[in-house]
Amino acid sequence: MALPQIKQDATDARLAALEMPQGGWSQAAREDALSRVRSMGLPGARDEYWKYTRPDTLVQPDAPKAALLDADEEPIFGEVDRLKIVFVDGVFSAEESDDLALDHVTIDRLADARDIHWAKDVYGVLEARGQTPVQRPLATLNTAFATDGVLIHVTGKAPKPISLIYRHASETSDAILHHVVKVDSGAELTLLENGPAAARFNKCMEVEIADGGTFHHVRAQGRDHERRAATAIFTRLGEESVFKSFTLTANGVLTRNECVIELTGDNAVAHVAGACVGDGDFHHDDTVFITHDALNCESRQVFKKVLRNGATGVFQGKILVKEGAQKTDGYQISQSLLLDEDSQFLAKPELEIYADDVACSHGSTSGAIDEEGLFYLRSRGIEEGPATDLLTIAFLAEAVMEIEDESLQDEINGRVEAWLSRRRG
């Protein structure tokens, strides 16, 4: 079927501005992705899936200019013993990165094109699976045109986290990165991500977790306010495997974080959580799709948004329980704390269930600061500003506590506290 003219034109214009990397094992996947993008077309304002978030600046040929972050604090995770991999405006920096060597892990770069690579079985594969029932063309565009990324194969318990650090150095940079993670049976990895990536950032990450594998992901986005980012995680879980992903987002005129999870092995566990804080023209969108396709799996979605001075938060979260996925335990909560009357939270929670022995719960709320709690804290001598901050941290707690490692929880809480106290001046 032909695309609507406006979508066709926008897609053609964007594709004309891009150049596909040539050669190597990924060539076939890239070409396949390109033909899929051509037939889908890039997101437009009329697409139902983009009803609450305008895709135009993510689709237009050139990245809108974004001022660099004038950082007044040390980057997060500085205290964590980790293997650092640095990308500056989407370009790998060997100088700033550690040696890509870690026990039980092999790390390669997507840009190092070879003819044979294990990643061929994952690259673009999970992304393509994630296109039904809802299309995600920006991720497909990414598969076709990603200029770099890391390919991580985990064969045992990684001795320390791998930390992807992004730096934004040019006001007009337009970065497309694609990471692939393959966690073998019984293997375990924690992946950290932080830093402003580029003026415009399209990032896709595919995570294949074999039976009994464990993958933890903790990400901090921000505080480069003017940047625009569309990120997508596609993961497939085997039997008794674990996937846990948490994202903190502070600032950003446009962030769309998609997460597509497929539970294909019995007794698998997938948690995805997000906490965000923003004000003014902050716009943050969490879009999640979880498919239960095996017995006795557990999924949790915990999303909390603190919005002020006209900020907008979006949540689209779906749990699909396929026929036969009995004993599914699904939980979904999305909440916003609106610190004034100008801010808004748009939520679309969905459940679609075809099995008859499942427990799925979902809830979505918007509210103001709890007056009882505020009075309690003030009656102990804590001023209204700091008391409001404490209650804001309390509001985000359920999401932050999805991070298993307590020291990482503290790092995240520290960032939120700093953000809040800066806002009070």
Partner 1 sequence: MLEIKNLHVQLEEEDKQILKGVNLTVEAGKVHAIMGPNGSGKSTLSYVLSGKDGYEVTDGEATLEGEDILEMEPEERAAAGMFLAFQYPVEIPGVGNMTFLRTAVNSQRKARGEEEMSASEFLKVIRAKAKDLKIDADMLKRPVNVGFSGGEKKRNEILQMAMLEPKMCILDETDSGLDVDAMKLVADGVNALRDEGRGFLVITHYQRLLDHIKPDVVHIMADGRIIKTGGPELALEVEHNGYADLLAEAV
Yes or no: say if 321 and 360 are a contact pair by the CB < 8 Å rule: yes
Least CB distance from residue 56 to partner 1, whole Å?
A: 37
Which region, judged by CB under 8 A, interacts with partner 1, from 18-26, 152-160, 184-192, 370-378? 370-378
Given 22, 72, 74, 380, the residue binding partner 1 (CB under 8 A): 380
Return the residue of 108, 373, 404, 418 that touches partner 1, per CB under 8 A.
373
Nearer to partner 1, 351 or 393 (CB): 393
Total of residues contacting partner 1 (CB under 8 A): 27
Q: Does 394 sit near partner 1 (CB under 8 A)?
A: yes
Please select the residue that binds partner 1; options are 5, 22, 132, 379, rule is CB under 8 A: 379
CB of 406 to partner 1, least distance (A): 11
Residues 54-83 that bind partner 1 (CB under 8 A): none
Residue type, 399: A
| Identity of the residue, 239 or 402, whose beta carbon is nearer to partner 1 in the bound complex | 402
Instruction: Round to whole Å and give the CA distance between 395 and 391.
Output: 6
95 or 341: whose CB is closer to partner 1? 341
* Residue 405 in contact with partner 1, rule: CB under 8 A: no
Assess 386 for contact with partner 1 (CB under 8 A): yes
Question: What are the structure tokens assigned to 52, written together?
Answer: 């609450």
Encoded one letter per residue, x for contact with partner 1 by CB under 8 A and - for no contact, window 104-133 reads ------------------------------
Asked if 369 interacts with partner 1 (CB under 8 A), we say no
Q: Choose which of 273, 345, 413, 420 interacts with partner 1 (CB under 8 A).
A: 413
- The residue (of 111 and 391) whose beta carbon lies closer to partner 1 is 391
Binding segment for partner 1 among 38-46, 117-125, 163-171, 393-401 (CB under 8 A)?
393-401
Q: Is 400 in the site for partner 1 (CB under 8 A)?
A: yes
Per CB under 8 A, the segment of 33-41, 84-92, 356-364, 380-388 that binds partner 1 is 380-388
367 is an interface residue for partner 1 by CB under 8 A: no
Applying CB under 8 A, does 393 fall inside the site for partner 1? Answer: yes
Residue 418 touching partner 1 (CB under 8 A):
no
Give CA–CA dist 162/81, Å, rounded.
Answer: 9
Which residues 150-189 are close enough to bind partner 1 by CB under 8 A?
Answer: none
Residue 56 CB burial class (10 angstroms; 0-12, 13-18, ≥19): middle
CB of 82 closer than 8 Å to CB of 192? yes
Out of 395, 408, 411, 419, the only residue in the binding site for partner 1 (CB under 8 A) is 395
- Determine, following the binding rule CB under 8 A, whether residue 300 of this chain makes contact with partner 1: no
Name which of 5 and 380 has its Cβ closer to partner 1: 380
377 is a contact residue toward partner 1 (CB under 8 A):
yes
277 binds partner 1 (CB under 8 A): no
Amino acid letter for position 39: S
Q: Which residues bind partner 1 (CB under 8 A)?
A: 370-373, 375-384, 386-387, 390-391, 393-398, 400-401, 413
